[in-house]
Structure 1
Amino acid sequence: MRVERYAVVGLARVRSPWFGEVASWANAGVLPIDFIKCVSTAELRARLHDARGVSAILVEAGVAGFDRDLIDEARTLGVASIVVGAASELGHETDWARLGAAAVLPDRFDEATLIDTLSNVAEPISSAPAVVVDSESLDDRDQDASSPGSLIAVIGSAGSGTSTTAMALAQGLARQTANASEGRLGSVVLADLVRRGHLAMYHDAKDVVPGFQELVESHRNASPTPREVAEHLFDVDDRGYALLLGLRRTRDWTALRPKAVEASIESLRSNFDHVVADLDAELDGEAETGSVDVEERNAASRLVVRDASLIVITTDTSLKSVHEFLHLLRDLADHGVCASRILPVVTRAPRSPRQRAECTRTLSTLGGLPGDLSPVFVPAHRHLEAIHANGSPLPQAVCSPLVGAVRAALCMGTATARTSRTVDPPGSDDSAKTAHPATPRAHDSANNATTALVSTR
């Protein structure tokens, strides 16, 4: 009778006793396993994609590069992750089960313990499934019973007032939410998630560390407590919200792992009633470009847009800004965002009701208004540059229109926590009506209609 065997890929620190013991058990035939030793996480990743299949990875806690992203990659391929020991790279206890590990073994274990663990969490190589994805059940494991805070994305072309809109929205929500919900750090956090952060400048921040990069790093091998999350934030007392500073250099995105980014965003939602995220207007991923690097570069924007309760898109009345606004609407539709989750905002808007009506009509002609929704108009303020320079509170004339519209959208249930519909491909009848706001007909008339919009300024 044929005995089914387990294919186990191992990785440990130099001279770890258990590593040699497992290899000797496998070579002596004591256990029905094929043990493949690796010297780095890069080699381990390559072994995961072996055509012969892998049952489990056996990795020592604290090995450089072993984090929740690697565990998630293994789980996606149907490979169980077994961690030996409990220490992380930071030298403290890590809840590996919460990070997605299938099992945790002590530093010293015997043959029976190992084979029992493999039989419980892994499949023999002859019967292992090709792909097993159970991320939803793991995402729900050990989560707080309270619902996460609302996630509001603010996105738009450069120069359209995206950062100012995000700050005004955070200030307005903070002042309307006097007290945070029980068990949370605060009512509102403003997160700078663009690849080169600007909010440190707008808040006249003397210290730019810690920030988003450090918060993400803290989530690679751990689930930080609320107190540890708070250590990465700055209090903006004059405006009433907490601030997460952004990346200091554009190239710093290379240090961000996607699953750690996702966990960081979830931590903010768990600890605040509202999370306002300032994002880059780039959503391309591997499916669109064939590049994993592009998807990881845009990970923060893609994850927030996917999970956001509401997506605020900014534009002004200039030709370039409206052009970028329409392209961004198309990108959001391609990314699976339904119209009910979108709130258009016109910054530096004209004050005349007639001119505002003309703006609304022109955007509708261009296909830039989801459904029958009217844009929110935020008027220009002559002293805004001085306010940015000293970080004083933003005027109510800028905050009030935004907060009222956002609260109405959230309360009416027009926003959903996660995209749940698949967008029809471009060119289909349904997508022309609903999914893609910028129709071919509207695009053909863009120059004439946009010229009319610019004339209202």
Structure 2
Amino acid sequence: MVVGGDDEPPRWVTLGAAAVIGSDLPVDAFRQLLSHHASPILGTDHLELGSGPPESASHGWSGRLVAVTGPGGTGASVLARHLAAGLGNDPRMRGSVLLLDACLEADQAFLHGLPDDHLGPDLQAATQAHRGGDPDRAGLDKLIVRPTDRPYGLIPGLRRRRDWPSIGGPSLRATLVNLRRHHLVSVVDVDPLIDLTPPGQALGPSTPGEPCRMVMSLADLVVVVGGTGEHATRSMERLLGNLGDAGISASRLLPILLAEPTTGRRTARRVARRLDRATPANLESPLVWTDPTNGSPGTGALLARKVLGALDLLAGRLDDGGVVPVPVGSLGTRDQ
């Protein structure tokens, strides 16, 4: 917010200012503007720094949850891994970063060098552990893999796609909420298969899109990864439209285009302009990124900086509050 820049308000807005106000603005009006554009920082009487959140995380506090999704083959899983590494190496995170694989075709175990027959914990074990209540910090540590030379914890995904019914419903939601209460940032790699139903129609039985719907309902920020080819661009347009139809605010979306060496950044920028025309005006223009699969140094740090900046710009937090949304009509009507 710019104070005293009322002589050239359009210029300040184009530079990224959320609001331009005069220096003679009344105090009450100034406070109202602040509450609209930013979240207040509450006072504290005691601050104790450690290696992460408190041992018994209060249900009144929760860390950030960032979902990473994208059409198949765009590199969303690789980008999620780089993002987790960048966040984990950030001193502000104090090593309290988790990467969770919620994809039906889970790849994070492979990307981290875990064998197909590894006997360690996975998402199915984590959701089963939350069916009888929320495990404490010590219980959660038993459900998390610590990859070698990685600054974050990992919960690998399903070993077989057909096991998806075992992670859906309230158990998955309870797992995500509890993990978020014990980590400063949780990165969730998830499919773009979000469930859509006509307005007023109740959701039916569990579907393969339920994990995505559950993750998106809790995510503070959704990183949407796309490519620069013709088919990838169309898939990106459809995905952004589906997320909007599912009720996800444009302010919570961070689209990223991965520029391949064969197409170049110029092509990626042309695709970004096309997406700008095809998506809501209040959606951020896609970031053009060099393909992270080459593992160039600094990729994770740059990604983490962009994501943390986007999180800081969010006006408010999602309140899970332990309340599960109930679709309209699912509890019957006055006549039934």
TM over 0.5: yes
**Greater per-residue helix proportion:** 1
Is 1:200 aligned to 2:112, yes or no?
Answer: no
Residue number in structure 1 paired with 2:68: 154
Alpha carbons 1:171, 1:241 under 8 Å: kept: yes
Distance 1:328 1:370 in 2: 16
Equivalent of 1:402 in 278, 303, 324: 303
Instruction: State the Cα RMSD in Å.
Output: 2.7
Alpha-carbon distance, 1:370 to partner: 5.2
One-letter amino acid of the structure 1 residue matched with residue 213 of structure 2: R
Matched, 1:363 2:264: no
Residue aligning to 1:230: 141
State the match for 1:311 in structure 2: 222
Query: Are 1:341 and 2:243 an aligned pair?
Result: no
How big is the shift at 1:298?
2.3
- Map of 1:87 onto structure 2: none
Task: State how far apart, in whole Å, the 1-side matches of 2:268 and 2:72 are.
Answer: 22
What secondary structure, in the 3-state scheme, does the structure 2 residue paired with 1:346 have? strand
**What secondary structure, in the 3-state scheme, does the structure 2 residue paired with 1:236 have?**
coil
Structure 1 counterpart SS, 2:133: coil
For 1:372 and 1:194, the matched residues in 2 are separated by: 25
Q: 1:256 to 1:179 in 2, by over 3 A?
A: closer
Superposed displacement of residue 200, structure 1: 0.7
* Offset at residue 373 of structure 1 (A): 2.2
Q: 1:323 aligns with which of 234, 245, 252?
A: 234
Percent identical = 26
Distance 1:242 1:305, change over 3 A: same
For the pair shown, which has the larger CA radius of gyration, 1 or 2? 1
Code of the residue aligned with 2:216 in structure 1: it is V
Q: Is the 8 A contact 2:87 2:93 kept in 1?
A: no
- Structure 2 distance, partners of 1:411, 1:233, is 27
Distance 1:356 1:413 in 2: 26
* CA deviation string 1:356-414 (max 9, x = no partner): 543332221233x6526232222136x73xxxxxxxxx433432332221111111225
Change (3 A) 1:157 1:415: farther
**Counterpart residue type for residue 165 of structure 2:** T
Which structure has more RCO (C-alpha within 8 Å, separation ≥ 6)? 2
Q: Does 1:167 align with 2:81?
A: yes
Secondary structure in 1 aligned to 2:96?
strand
- One-letter amino acid of the counterpart of residue 170, structure 1: A
The Cα offsets for residues 7-39 of structure 1, whole Å up to 9 and x where unpaired, read as xxxxxxxxxxxxxxxxxxxxxxxxxxxxxxxxx
Label 1:352 to 1:400 Cα distance change in 2 as closer, same or farther (>3 A). farther
- The SS at the match of 2:89 is helix
One-letter code aligned to 1:411 = D
> 2:97 is matched with which residue: 180, 188, 200?
188
Aligned to 2:180: 269
Task: Give, in angstroms, the shift of residue 151 of structure 1.
Answer: 0.4
Q: CA separation in 2, counterparts of 1:403 and 1:153?
A: 13
Q: Letter of the aligned partner of 1:217 in structure 2?
A: Q
1:240 to 136, 151, 155: 151
Q: Provide the aligned length of Structure 1 versus Structure 2.
A: 261
Q: Which consecutive unaligned segments of at least 5 residues does structure 1 have? A: 1-141, 181-185, 385-393, 420-457
SS in 2 for 1:235: coil
Give distance in 2, aligned partners of 1:177 and 1:414.
24
Counterpart amino acid of 2:91?
A: T
Q: Do the aligned partners of 2:100 and 2:156 also contact (CA within 8 Å) in 1?
A: yes
Q: Counterpart amino acid of 1:153?
A: A
C-alpha distance in 1 between matches for 2:265 and 2:196? 41
Q: Structure 1's 380 and 297: CA in aligned 2 closer, same or farther, altered over 3 A?
A: closer
Q: CA deviation at 1:179?
A: 5.2
Aligned amino acid, residue 104 of structure 2 = R
Distance (Å, rounded) in 2 between the aligned partners of 1:216 and 1:374: 36
> Partner of 1:44 in structure 2?
none
Match of 1:130 in 2: none
- How far off is 1:149 after superposition? 0.7
The 3-state SS of whatever aligns with 1:267 is helix
Q: 1:318 is matched by which residue type in structure 2?
A: G
What is the one-letter code of the residue matched to 1:321?
A: A
Q: Residue type matched to 1:282 in 2?
A: L
Aligned to 2:191: 280
Unaligned runs of 5+ in 2: 1-55, 321-336
Q: Distance in 2 between matches of 1:403 and 1:254?
A: 32
TM-score, normalised to structure 2, is 0.70
Structure 2 Cα separation of the partners of residues 418 and 321 of structure 1: 34
Partner Cα separation in structure 1 for residue 154 and residue 125 of structure 2? 14
**Equivalent residues of 1:309, 1:418 under 8 A apart:** no
Contact 1:306 1:418 in 2 (8 A): no
In structure 2, what residue type is equivalent to 1:315? G
Using the TM superposition, name which of 224-233 and 280-289 deviates more. 280-289
Question: CA offsets per residue over residues 34-82 of structure 1, 9 Å max, x none?
Answer: xxxxxxxxxxxxxxxxxxxxxxxxxxxxxxxxxxxxxxxxxxxxxxxxx
Query: Structure 2 CA distance, aligned partners of 1:163 and 1:233?
Result: 18
